[in-house]
Amino acid sequence: MTTGIGSAVTTKVLNRITGPAGLNASLAALIQCAAASPLRVDASQVRAQNVAADMAERTGSVKYPSVNVYCEGIANELREKFRRFSGTAQMAIEVRHSQDRLEGLEGKLELFVDGAMGLLNESRGDWGDGMFYGGKYQVSFSAVKRGGKNFIQTAKITFEIGVSRN
């Protein structure tokens, strides 16, 4: 049962990211404010997997920026009587950006993270199918490393989705 919940919530998050009001719409709004070059994420760049950057690069072609969505954990807190599951799913959106020059890498990554945070801010409330999002999230940035096109940096956005299912 817990595997089904993790997959269902991951699918909901993926649909929100790739949907018409998703990450690209949020990025477009940011770029209008910042007057920067257009940024977009193709559907092929958004994946439902928890994999290290170096492993992803070894197993296939990776196009940057890449967005990985996965469920980090599930907690059945039995908040509602007579439900088989009523608790939370701890979700993560990991954004990775890589380029050949160090200059501007962090700035571009921050734009993609701002786009994802904007998407989450607009997604508060009932998501249907017994899932809801309260609006809290946390962002952490890793240090720049060697990898990808020469340099790679990752940001991880974690948040909870409330789940209530029979």
- Reported as a single tens digit per residue, the pLDDT across 19-49 is 998 998 888 888 775 545 567 888 889 999 9
Q: What is the pLDDT of residues 33-89, one digit of tens each?
A: 554 556 788 888 999 998 888 888 888 778 899 999 999 999 999 989 889 999 999
Q: How many angstroms separate the first and last alpha carbons of the chain?
A: 10
Selected residue with higher pLDDT from 53 and 155: 155
What span, in angstroms and rounded, lies between the C-alpha atoms of 119 and 161? 14
CATH code, residues 2-165: 3.30.2000
Q: Can you give the pLDDT at residue 37?
A: 55
What span, in angstroms and rounded, lies between the C-alpha atoms of 115 and 102? 21
Rg (C-alpha) for the chain, rounded Å, is 17
pTM of the model: 0.90
